[in-house]
């Protein structure tokens, strides 16, 4: 095994019981993917295609119908405390303070070391001053920061994130992405991040894995070879974003399913998009146009939200 291959997914397929007349529902088919140590990979696909299922298989919460996942060369047979999940819904303990939540998994460490780790990560996520607050006293964005701090304080081997910002308002989501990029650049954890938000994936990932509809296969893996923090107005950013939209069968405004135009192999997005725009006539379905306008006007580093008073 190459040392850089942290995660190796080999011919992974998954079917659930529950289809009509006792049949199974095929969710994932023949997924092959390597994730390098320290890499940030986003899994993108439409709702219900199997993104969370894939993440749960990689993390050992589900057993595949066929194929396997290796982490550091060892087959994944179940969850492991070294690999931490962050979900859309807050999983903080409501009866513990911010400080106690972050320190929860660190009880085996010497007291000094534990206190140092807690303080370090509280500062990193910008929650200094909120150490004694309880989760119900925090905004959604602040809770997700605590989640992130708690996960990082445990020094995980791999971070699995399943739409962790999906429940946040638009501005807070943008701010959280910037924070995550900043933190990831310092920590260099291996991250597998699920989202159906194309913009989010381009802002965050080293590579974006685009899944097809169910049963999901990998349609394309797109390298995002852009410096961080990413300029959301740069031609490079827009090109990658449009490439992902095109792979998903959507045009650059997030509109227009393009069933008539096979997109999988189209690499020249500039040519593909006019075809799609002409053939569509349908309302935007991926990203509301007002949000997209907002994204394009914003430059990373300029955003703020109620809970981000750093």
- List of residues contacting ligand ATP (CB under 6 A): 16, 18, 25, 27, 45, 47-53, 196, 214
Q: How big is the chain, counted in residues?
A: 310
What token pair was written down for 110? 């010497």
Which residue, 55 or 98, has its beta carbon nearer to ligand ATP?
Answer: 55
Work out what residue 268 binds among Mg ion, ligand ATP, none; the CB cut-off runs from 5 to 8 Å by kind. Answer: none
Which residue, 48 or 270, has its beta carbon nearer to ligand ATP?
Answer: 48
What token pair was written down for 153? 């304080």
CB of 45 to Mg ion, least distance (A): 9
Under a CB-based contact definition with an 8 Å cutoff, are residues 252 and 280 in contact? Answer: no
CB of 167 to Mg ion, least distance (A): 13
Which residue, 65 or 139, has its beta carbon nearer to ligand ATP?
Answer: 65
What's the rounded Cα separation, in Å, for the pair 271 and 299? 28
Q: Does 195 bind Mg ion (CB under 5 A)?
A: no
Work out what residue 73 binds among Mg ion, ligand ATP, none; the CB cut-off runs from 5 to 8 Å by kind. Answer: none
Which residue, 49 or 151, has its beta carbon nearer to ligand ATP?
Answer: 49
Contact set for Mg ion, span 45-64 (CB under 5 A): 52
Work out what residue 219 binds among ligand ATP, Mg ion, none; the CB cut-off runs from 5 to 8 Å by kind. Answer: none
Residues contributing to the site for Mg ion (CB under 5 A): 52
């Amino acid at each position: 095994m190459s040392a850089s291959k942290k995660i190796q997914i080999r011919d992974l397929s998954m079917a659930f019981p529950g289809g009509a007349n006792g049949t199974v529902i095929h969710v994932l088919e023949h997924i092959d993917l390597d994730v390098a140590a320290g890499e940030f990979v986003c899994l993108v696909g439409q709702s219900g295609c199997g993104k969370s299922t894939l993440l749960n298989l990689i993390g050992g919460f589900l057993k595949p119908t066929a194929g396997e996942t290796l982490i550091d060369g060892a087959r994944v047979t179940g969850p492991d405390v070294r690999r931490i999940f962050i979900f859309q819904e807050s999983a903080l303990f409501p009866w513990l303070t911010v400080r106690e939540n972050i320190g929860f998994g660190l009880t085996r460490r010497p007291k000094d070391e534990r206190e140092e780790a807690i303080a370090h990560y509280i500062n990193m996520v910008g929650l200094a001053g909120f150490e004694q607050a309880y989760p119900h006293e925090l905004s959604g964005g602040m809770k997700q920061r605590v989640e992130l701090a708690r996960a990082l304080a445990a020094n995980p081997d791999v971070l699995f994130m399943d739409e962790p910002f999906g429940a946040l308002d638009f501005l807070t989501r943008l701010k959280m992405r910037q924070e995550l990029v900043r933190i990831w650049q310092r920590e260099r954890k291996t991250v597998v991040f699920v989202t159906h938000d194309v913009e989010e994936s381009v802002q965050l990932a080293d590579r974006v894995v685009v899944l097809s509809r169910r049963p999901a296969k990998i349609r394309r893996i797109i390298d995002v070879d852009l410096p961080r923090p990413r300029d959301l107005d740069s031609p490079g950013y827009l090109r990658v974003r449009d490439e992902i939209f095109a792979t998903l069968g959507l045009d650059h405004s997030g509109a227009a399913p393009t069933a008539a135009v096979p997109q999988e192999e189209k690499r020249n997005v500039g040519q593909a998009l006019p075809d799609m725009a002409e053939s569509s006539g349908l309302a935007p379905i991926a990203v509301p146009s007002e949000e997209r306008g907002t994204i394009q006007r914003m430059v990373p580093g300029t955003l703020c939200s109620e809970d981000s008073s750093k």
